[in-house]
Structure 1
Amino acid sequence: MGSFVLPTMKTKREVDTFLMNTLDKVAVLRFSGKYSPSSTSNIDCVLLDDILCKVSREVSKFAEIALVDADAEEIQVYVKYFDITLFPSTVFFFNTYHMKMNSGSADHTKWVGSFHSKQDFIDVVEVIFRGAMNGKLIVGCPLPPDRIPKFQLLFNDI
């Protein structure tokens, strides 16, 4: 349902153009892989797509949202760079700068998993926007720990 309203990018050029053209707003990139019927991440991706579609108009004054097909060949450069192994994963930018968020996990580069509600997503994007407007590249997560998805980090070559 979500992909009807939000643009879905399958090439590096599309992502680069989106980031370069999103000025003075938070650029939200939601990465997802192939949907498999038995996967719990499939449910998370559908839920997040639904939340993003519903909230895209509400955050349009300070954020632009796009979906990224992590299975596309040209997108692999981003998937590897951000070490995206779990779906959905959401990455935030402001004026082409990668925005990070301290959510209590070891990985501050992305949000892994779905958001519990529309308001949670709005709160996160608003905090990132306010921090970016004040020149910060990393912000604290505004959500209580019980609403932050938990996952175990697995690092390659360790």
Structure 2
Amino acid sequence: MSGLLLMTLKTKKEVDTIIRDTIDKVLVLRFGHSSDSVCLQLDDILYKSARDISRFATVALVDIDSEDVQVYTKYFDITLIPSTIFFFNAHHIKMDSGSADHTKWVGSFYAKQDFIDVVEAIFRGAMKGKLIVNCPLPPERVPKFQLLYKDL
């Protein structure tokens, strides 16, 4: 239900526009499927947090089933869903969460406050000009995933 209440982007043009037009705020883009159970859990957290972070962040969902946004799924190597990517003033902001991939958050957050803490850390770092920030969450609250490399 919460996914219906958050802005859902289905075309490359919509994604390009929101990245370009979101100024002085963190842009949170959740890439995933509206039918996936983990995506629904994350969407619920994003929806419940949206008002609390509205002064410094904007949240939108990107439907990766849409053929038009495949350029982003390939560019950000979105193979595990949900994947959440952060931007600030059209710059991709990375986060060191102790995983091998700093370009995105893979999986859901354990709690609403975890998500808020991450977005606040990204906002503070971005305001200081940083393009990579440290994750404020303890390692046990960061979802674990295994990166698989083909042809190695």
Normalized against structure 2, the TM-score is what?
0.97
What residue in structure 1 maps to residue 29 of structure 2? 29
Identity %: 66
Q: Which amino acid aligns with 1:110?
A: K
What residue in structure 2 maps to residue 76 of structure 1? 70
1:96 and 2:90 are equivalent in the alignment? yes
Query: 4+ residue stretches of structure 1 with deviation over 4 A?
Result: none
- The question of whether the paired residues in 1 share the 8 Å contact of 2:97 and 2:142 is answered with yes
What residue in structure 2 maps to residue 59 of structure 1? 53
Counterparts of 1:29-48 in structure 2 under 5 Å? 29-33=29-33, 35=35, 42-48=36-42
TM superposition shift of 1:4: 2.1
- The question of whether the paired residues in 2 share the 8 Å contact of 1:26 and 1:93 is answered with yes
Looking at structure 2, the residues matched to 67 and 112 of structure 1 have their Cα atoms a distance apart, in angstroms, of 14
Normalized against structure 1, the TM-score is what?
0.93
Spell out, residue by residue over 1:107-139, the C-alpha distance to the aligned partner (whole angstroms, 9 max, x if none): 000000000000000000000000000000000
Query: Once superposed, what is the RMSD of the aligned Cα atoms?
Result: 1.0
- The question of whether the paired residues in 1 share the 8 Å contact of 2:80 and 2:106 is answered with yes
What residue in structure 2 maps to residue 4 of structure 1? 4
Looking at structure 2, the residues matched to 102 and 23 of structure 1 have their Cα atoms a distance apart, in angstroms, of 23
1:121 and 2:115 are equivalent in the alignment? yes
Consecutive unaligned residues in structure 2, runs of 5 or more: none
Paired residues, number: 152
